[in-house]
Amino acid sequence: MSSSRLEYWRLSGLPARQTQDEKRHDEAVADAKRAIQLAPGSADAAELASYVLAASGHPEEAAVQSEKAMALNLNYPAVYPGTLGDAYRLSGRNEEGIAAFRPMEPEAPDLASSIGGQADNMRTS
């Protein structure tokens, strides 16, 4: 495995999420962006970056990365629309956020109904 591939794996997943969880947002954002540079065609790297960017106060960049992740992996996991919905919601794009959560309904009906209950709040904020 190449050294850049090893670096990508080091930066993806748990370390970036752990850094974000510890409120070291600048470091988490830098790690996420580095993972994207090392693996520009990776849907998972884009998804991770979206998660970190949204939680670190960069929702517009997060939406771009989440859209990229979904375009790179057309059979994306159910979590991808949720990350996109969060990015839209945090950037004030509430109707797009609500629409992004809709594909999750068959996979997670309890979550979808919870989100649906919040939709009215999103529409009025």
Per-residue pLDDT of the chain (125 residues; tens, 9 = 90+): 344 444 444 444 444 555 555 567 788 888 888 889 999 999 999 999 999 999 888 999 999 999 999 999 999 988 899 899 989 989 999 889 888 887 766 665 565 555 555 554 555 55
Distances from the Cα of 40 to the Cαs of 114, 117, 118, in angstroms? 34, 36, 34
Q: DSSP letter for 56, please.
A: T
- Residue 72's Cβ-count burial label (10 Å; 0-12, 13-18, 19+) is middle
pLDDT at residue number 17: 52
- The domain in which residue 57 lies consists of 3-124
If you search the block for the tokens 């809709």, which residue do you land on? 102
Only one residue has tokens 């520009």, namely 40
First-residue to last-residue Cα distance in the chain: 48
Domain with residue 104: its CATH number is 1.25.40.10
Look at the block and give the residue holding tokens 């106060």: 57
Which pLDDT score, from 0 to 100, does residue 97 have? 86
**Number of folded domains that form the chain:** 1
User: Residue 7: its pLDDT value, please?
Assistant: 46
- Output the pLDDT for position 9: 42
Note the pTM of the prediction, 2 decimals.
0.70
Predicted pLDDT at 109: 58
